[in-house]
Chains A and B, each alone.
Chain A
C-alpha cells in the first residue's frame, strides 16, 4: 500500500564509501524528486526527474548521481561519502511538476544517512 517507498531506512557508513538509496512510487506519477533534510530540518531539493528526464539539478556535488530507470523509480548513488553528507534523504513524487499546489508532493519516510 505504501505510495512512495525508499530503502534503506537507515544507513550508517564510513567516510569514503559509496552507497545507494532506492526509491519507488506506485502512484502513477510522472515526476520524482530527491530532497535533503539537514539536522535543522531544512528541506532542500536536490534533483527532479520527469518521465525519466532530469529537469532539476540544484547545486549538488557531482558525487551525487541520480538514476531513473523508469518513471516509477528514482535511485540516488553517492560516491566518496563525507561527514557533511549525513542527513535524511527524502524521495518524493508528484503528478505535475508545474502545479505543485494542487498536485502535491508525496514523500517517502526518508533514509537516515550517518557518515562516520
Chain B
C-alpha cells in the first residue's frame, strides 16, 4: 500500500461545475498537506497548503483536511477551462525534509 493514495482519473466536468479532488494517506505523522497543480509539459506548482485539520479557502479553491479519517480534499468552485491540469496532493511529517506525493488526478474542464 502506498503512503498516499489518489485516484488518477481522468476526471472530466463541464465549465462552472464544482470539482472535488481527494487523497487518503496511511502515515499518521503527516501534519502538512499541500496541493500542487501541474499543467501539461510543465513542472508542478504549489496551489494551496494547510496545516493539521481544518479548512482553508483561497478564491475558488478550498482545501480540507480530516486527520481522523486520514483524508484530504481540494474543492474547485466555478471551474474554468484554465483549471484543466493534473492535481497532486503532497504531504510531510513535522521536520521531515521531503514531500510524499499522490499519483495526481488529471482534470479536464470542458467549455
Which among B8, B34, B42, B95 is the interface contact of A104 at CB below 8 angstroms? B34
Closest chain A residue to B46, Cβ basis: A104
Bound Cα distance from A45 to B4, whole angstroms: 14
Main secondary structure of the interface of B (DSSP, over half): strand
Q: Across the interface, do A90 and B49 meet the contact criterion of CB distance under 8 Å?
A: no
Interface residue B108 (Cβ < 8 Å from any Cβ of A): no
Q: Which residue of A lies closest to B4 (CB)?
A: A42
Q: How far is the CB of B58 from chain A (nearest CB, A)?
A: 14
Give the A-B pair count, Cβ closer than 8 A.
70
**Bound Cα distance A45, B45 (Å):** 16
A108–B103 CB distance below 8 A: no
**How many angstroms between the C-alpha atoms of A101 and B103 in the bound complex?**
19
B32 x A43 contact (CB < 8 A): no
Residues of A within 8 A of B60 (CB): none
User: Of B50, B96, B104, B106, which one neighbours A98 at CB under 8 angstroms?
Assistant: B96
Whether A86 is near chain B, meaning CB under 8 Å from some CB there, is: no
Residue numbers of B with Cβ under 8 A of A are 8, 32-34, 36, 38, 41-46, 49-51, 86, 88, 92, 95-99, 101, 103-104, 106
- Taking beta carbons and an 8 Å cutoff, which residues of A are in contact with B? 4, 31, 33, 40-45, 48, 50, 55-56, 90, 92, 97-102, 104-110
